[in-house]
Amino acid sequence: MFVIFVALLHVSCIKKQKPLSMNRRLFLSTLGMGAVALYDPLSSFASNRKLKRIGIIGLDTSHAIAFTKILYEGRDQEALGGYLVTAAYPLGSPKIAQNAERISRNTTEIQQYGVHIVNSIADLLAQVDYVLLETNDGNNRLEQATEVLKQRKPMFIDKPIANSFQDASAIFKLAEEYKTPVFSCSALRFIAGLEDIDREQVVGADVYSPAPTEPHHKDLYWYGIHGVEMLFAIMGERCLDVQTVAGDQGDVYVGRWDKGRVGILRTMKEHDPGFGGVVFTNEKTITLGTYTGYIPLIRHIVDFFDTGTAPVSTRETLRMCKFIDAAYESKLKNGAVVAVCPEG
């Protein structure tokens, strides 16, 4: 069809006796548009299977590229269910120094996967069915999430969900009001071996994580949230209180859980120790495996978009936010014990 159209157009130009240079420019322009249509990976994919369109808000994080690439490269895998990132809004907070460079670089790179760049959240929502909220400034998450939730687009919110328990709670209340599925978590929740642990058998845990900080965020909302996710995934949501022991190279957070259990998170600010830990159960001691990347998280996100059922409960996510707020308060109070959820 395209070849016939081009031939007819070329003949038409000759009949109208337009200058040859104009005919050539018109022909090459039309051919260029046809080439894009012929080789557009999203168009080709959509013709073979129902395309489930994901939009990304925020290109100020490497996650935006990593998630897009995994879905693109796995587009023929049943496990990824026909989901592809098709549009992105390169939003980012100017408060964070590295964002300008990241956004420019990531905007160029993401277009290699056929992703269309838009100019607003509203434009994005008009073109997609699902949303990955990827902006890295937790202080703006409530405002950004509100627009998505009102349009009832199922949404995954990358870490951090916010920079306070109050904002995180407001997001979930809006999700309930507009009946929009939403969840947030870190990929470290799915570190090797962790999902196989029976929480009911756990009596304690020591985990570690790198945790550089950022001036506009409470300490653990920035990078240390990965360690918090690991700790709560092991110990459960019933953390009673926390005490922060601050050090020059890193901090130690001692949490007291129900049934007299203790969970400890050690973070390093400059040195990168990787991610890991030891879990103590009634029967044995378990050493966590290595972190293997984002694919397990992506599979949970895809399943969430399919079913509307989150792999992490709202209650547990909010308890983690309370833990982070309390840990920060403990630091400001020189290591005082601060309540998280005294009722358990």
Write out pLDDT tens, residues 235-294: 999 999 999 999 999 999 999 999 999 999 999 998 899 999 999 999 999 999 999 899
Kindly report the average pLDDT of the chain as a whole number: 87
What gap in Å lies between CA 119 and CA 104, rounded to an integer? 14
Work out the average pLDDT over 302-320.
Answer: 97
Question: What pLDDT does 142 receive?
Answer: 98
Under a CB-based contact definition with an 8 Å cutoff, are residues 268 and 260 in contact? no
Q: Minimal CA–CA distance to 70: which of 291, 302, 304, 309?
A: 302
Under a CB-based contact definition with an 8 Å cutoff, are residues 214 and 228 in contact? no
The answer to whether residue 6 scores a pLDDT higher than 90 is no
Under a CB-based contact definition with an 8 Å cutoff, are residues 178 and 149 in contact? yes
Q: Where is pLDDT greater, at 46 or 27?
A: 46
Distances from the Cα of 167 to the Cα of 143, 216, 249, angstroms: 9, 15, 30
Work out the average pLDDT over 137-162.
Answer: 97
What is the DSSP code string of 111-176? GGGTPEE-SSHHHHHTT-SEEEE--S-GGGHHHHHHHHHHTT--EEEPSPS-SSHHHHHHHHHHHH
Question: What pLDDT does 218 receive?
Answer: 96
Work out the average pLDDT over 315-330.
Answer: 98
Question: What pLDDT does 149 receive?
Answer: 98
Alpha-carbon Rg of the chain, whole angstroms?
A: 24
Under a CB-based contact definition with an 8 Å cutoff, are residues 241 and 254 in contact? no
Question: What pLDDT does 42 receive?
Answer: 53
Work out the average pLDDT over 164-182.
Answer: 98
Q: Where is pLDDT greater, at 39 or 165?
A: 165
The answer to whether residue 74 scores a pLDDT higher than 80 is yes
The answer to whether residue 183 scores a pLDDT higher than 70 is yes
Q: Where is pLDDT greater, at 44 or 344?
A: 344
Within the chain, residue ranges assigned H as helices are 2-15, 20-39, 41-48, 62-73, 99-110, 121-125, 141-150, 165-178, 219-222, 225-235, 295-307, 314-332
H or E stretch covering 252: strand 250-257
Residue with structure tokens 């627009």? 147
The answer to whether residue 27 scores a pLDDT higher than 60 is no
The answer to whether residue 1 scores a pLDDT higher than 60 is no
The answer to whether residue 43 scores a pLDDT higher than 90 is no
What gap in Å lies between CA 27 and CA 13, rounded to an integer? 9
Q: Where is pLDDT greater, at 2 or 113?
A: 113
